[in-house]
Structure 1
Amino acid sequence: MSSSHQLSVAYFDGLTARAQPVLMWVERGMLQLSGPGLIRQVPLNKVQWSERTRHGARLAHFTDGGTIQAVNPADWDSWLDHHDLGAPLSTRAHQSWRWTMLATTVLLMVAVMGYWWGLPLAARFVAPLIPQAVSQQVGRATLRAMDEQWLKPSQLSQQEQARWRVSLSKAIAQGLDGASADTNATPPPIQLQFRQARIGPNAFALPDGNIVITDELIGLLHDREDVLIGVLGHEIGHITGRHGLRGLIQAGLLGVISSVAFGDFSTVLASAPVLMGQLAYSRDLEREADDAAIVFMHRNHVRPSVMSVFFQRIKDEGQHKGHAAPPAGDDTDKRIGIAFSSHPADAERLAHFTSADIDKGLEAPAHP
């Protein structure tokens, strides 16, 4: 035994507050303690070494209540390191700014991946488990809230509304023929609602099967029922895919996770109608709805490429009103359920609709 491997420490027997000076060293896997009137051996695996801190006391505890305390913290740390009894990797890591920065970066990456991929995947799994009765309640509550805030009664005559309902209902019946067999799910009954709104020529779907069509959209496409069928098919795609409910589930899960971290999630469910009115569909959900619209149009013997008429008219209307067109793909002010926001669709979506004609061997129509 080398004296350089001995360390002077203070020993407390756990029965009195009196410190007893002793020497400690390691020999044959045992912690040896020796001092006036004390000789003790303790297996190293029975010693609980305190976590090393910058300014805290250095301690070690025994199972019988005994304790040893460093007289000189620097010598204590050097002695532990010499015997490979220093702080574990976890302790050294959280005391290192480099390891802390790395851990923070990894945590942020996990959070971002969870937000972009984890939440949508969870929503896709949970949505089919939600009873249709819940979708009905959410849809009705959302429509009431929207009617109170930013929708107005339609200015279309009752006769015109009835005419469009009859015409479009035929397209709905034909477009949904066999849909439940394809998706193994029965979509809720589709109900058409006409409203005047500040969102311009648009339509949006609610989880209960209601599709709101604005007067401005009817005015824009009054002579192109085939194009209106395409917009309707897109919205029905949101309904059959339960996209509104999936978006609400994502927002709810995010709210719950945030509430677990920061407290109070009592208002998450109460704010469902507001969330429904403010959330935007993701690009993946929009692509799903576009695919559903293409199938819907094929069943109605409508060429998907006629959607170019809609895009062009939306663009012309924006320019006529003096609104600068946003960059392609911009989703500014795009609200949940709206088939297309009030600016030109990006080239990717238009190409997708046009290619559906090409795949079917049909000739794409010219722009109006």
Structure 2
Amino acid sequence: MSASDNPLLVDYFDGLSTRAHRVSMRIHEGMLQLTGPDLFRQVALNKVQWSERTRHGTRCAHFVDGGLVQSLDNNHWDDWLKTQQLGEPLVVRAQQSWRWTALATCVLLLVAVLGYWWGLPMAARALTPLVPASVDRELGQRTLQAMDEKWLHPSQLDEAVQARWRQKFDEATRQDHSLSPQDTGHPYPAIQLHFRHASIGPNAFALPDGSIVITDELMTLLQDREDVLLGILGHEMGHVRLRHGLRSLIQTGLLGVVSSVAFGDFSTWLAGAPALMGHLAYSRELEREADDIAIAFMRHNQIKPSVMAVFFQRLKAGRPSGEELGIAFSSHPADDERIARFMAADLGDPAAP
């Protein structure tokens, strides 16, 4: 007996009423045939949508006009499909296997991890040049305003000291030719130094609009080492020139968008972007890029990069044991790694920038 001579008893619904027609279903010359006491119908196999096999669900086959056939016995239905060589797709078989499901879960987790560590940074790097400079200005201004309202206080430094440092840094930047706007593909915002008193301790951080905030505590910590202070400002200038603030925000935003697709609305993130900017931690890759800019900046100003070791030593001596304190609330590479990098640059190591 051929496969086409092996009928299966099913219920047929025409899509117009709830009445079930008990019919025999068989396949003949590429057509699905339904035969009953008062019914005969043929449907091309490529117009039939077979339901996926589930553990408890009733098996069905749907037609484009709304009709369907329904199994009377799931086991008989599954066996009949096999005899008709209408086996299940690999995806359906995989869904029924715990081993395949476990493997798919592991692959999904791996893709998620790789996407987080490599995919998001690459996407943020590609998207940043597409964002107009006006966004940097608006974001920086709003962030500084929000931080002034919550964490920062007017500087207690003498106005003459502040003015002298603004002039000194302006002269130092004019000596630096390590990175031009043509290298980065966008014009630089004008650097503006802002001095603030804050409870965050000796710190400095850069905002996308070119604002660099320096705390009074950092000025006090390095009041006798202007060369080190210039190195720190060069590091923050690197964040500005490479648009690290915007890149990090885009990366965080992409993560929020991806999460929103899976878990819900992301309008809250958009509304809180300026506040998020204040807490944003740069990746270690971005910190290393900013260190490279600082090294070049110091070299052009006849400052040995190795002097930055003084900064890390004083920070370590002045903070409680186990407490990490870094510039701009950031996830910096370990102090020892950064010191070694600045020392290598001082010694002319060809591997250093």
Q: TM-score range by the shorter chain?
A: 0.7 to 0.9
Q: Which residue does the alignment assign to 1:271?
A: 272
Q: Which residue does the alignment assign to 1:324?
A: 321
Q: Quick check: 155-164 or 93-102, which moved more?
A: 93-102
Q: Which residue does the alignment assign to 2:298?
A: 297
Q: How far is 1:81 from its partner?
A: 2.0
2:189/2:210 contact within 8 Å kept: yes
Q: Which residue does the alignment assign to 1:143?
A: 144
Q: How far is 1:247 from its partner?
A: 1.0
Superposed CA deviations along residues 308-340 of structure 1, whole A, max 9, x for unmatched, are 11111112222xxxx1045xxxxx5757x3589
Q: Which residue does the alignment assign to 2:341?
A: 352
Q: Quick check: 5-14 or 295-304, which moved more?
A: 5-14
Amino acid at match of 2:118: W
Q: Which residue does the alignment assign to 2:223?
A: 222
- For structure 1, the 5+ residue unaligned runs are 327-331, 362-368
1:304/1:354 contact within 8 Å kept: yes
Q: In 1, Cα distance between the equivalents of 2:10 and 2:204?
A: 79
Q: Quick check: 181-190 or 126-135, which moved more?
A: 181-190
Q: In 2, Cα distance between the equivalents of 1:50 and 1:203?
A: 62
**Partner SS for 1:267:** helix
CA RMSD across the alignment:
2.9
Over 3 Å counting, the alpha-carbon distance change for 1:254 and 1:33 in structure 2 is: closer
Amino acid at match of 2:321: A
Q: How far is 1:46 from its partner?
A: 3.8
Is the aligned partner of 1:103 residue 2:104? yes
Superposed CA deviations along residues 249-288 of structure 1, whole A, max 9, x for unmatched, are 1122222222233332223332122111111000000000
Is the aligned partner of 1:280 residue 2:277? no
The 5 Å alignment of 1:50-89 reads: 50-62=51-63, 67-89=68-90
Over 3 Å counting, the alpha-carbon distance change for 1:19 and 1:183 in structure 2 is: closer
Amino acid at match of 1:346: D
**Partner SS for 1:162:** helix
Amino acid at match of 2:132: P
1:251/1:275 contact within 8 Å kept: no
Q: In 1, Cα distance between the equivalents of 2:167 and 2:141?
A: 23
Q: TM-score, normalised by structure 2?
A: 0.87
Q: In 2, Cα distance between the equivalents of 1:49 and 1:177?
A: 65
Deviation >6 Å, runs of 4+: none
**Partner SS for 2:269:** coil
1:120/1:250 contact within 8 Å kept: yes
Over 3 Å counting, the alpha-carbon distance change for 1:294 and 1:47 in structure 2 is: same
Q: In 1, Cα distance between the equivalents of 2:318 and 2:306?
A: 20
Q: Quick check: 30-39 or 241-250, which moved more?
A: 30-39
Q: Quick check: 3-12 or 272-281, which moved more?
A: 3-12
Q: In 2, Cα distance between the equivalents of 1:65 and 1:210?
A: 64
**Partner SS for 2:247:** helix
Q: Which residue does the alignment assign to 1:365?
A: none
Q: In 2, Cα distance between the equivalents of 1:100 and 1:77?
A: 21
Over 3 Å counting, the alpha-carbon distance change for 1:97 and 1:211 in structure 2 is: same
**Partner SS for 1:10:** strand
Q: How far is 1:67 from its partner?
A: 4.0
**Partner SS for 2:268:** coil
Over 3 Å counting, the alpha-carbon distance change for 1:147 and 1:34 in structure 2 is: closer
Q: In 2, Cα distance between the equivalents of 1:360 and 1:54?
A: 66
Q: In 1, Cα distance between the equivalents of 2:147 and 2:308?
A: 27
Q: TM-score, normalised by structure 1?
A: 0.84
Q: Which residue does the alignment assign to 1:196?
A: 197
**Partner SS for 1:281:** coil
The 5 Å alignment of 1:26-175 reads: 26-36=27-37, 42-62=43-63, 67-175=68-176
Q: In 1, Cα distance between the equivalents of 2:60 and 2:31?
A: 17
Q: In 2, Cα distance between the equivalents of 1:65 and 1:283?
A: 58
Superposed CA deviations along residues 141-192 of structure 1, whole A, max 9, x for unmatched, are 1111111111111111122222222223222222357633544433111111
Q: How far is 1:34 from its partner?
A: 4.5
Superposed CA deviations along residues 217-240 of structure 1, whole A, max 9, x for unmatched, are 111111111111111110000000
Amino acid at match of 2:78: D
Q: How far is 1:60 from its partner?
A: 2.7
Q: How far is 1:62 from its partner?
A: 4.4
- For structure 2, the 5+ residue unaligned runs are none
How many residue pairs match? The answer is: 349
Q: In 1, Cα distance between the equivalents of 2:260 and 2:158?
A: 48
Q: Quick check: 248-257 or 19-28, which moved more?
A: 19-28
Over 3 Å counting, the alpha-carbon distance change for 1:186 and 1:177 in structure 2 is: farther
Superposed CA deviations along residues 64-117 of structure 1, whole A, max 9, x for unmatched, are 665433232221221112222243222233333333333232222222222222
Q: In 2, Cα distance between the equivalents of 1:267 and 1:273?
A: 12
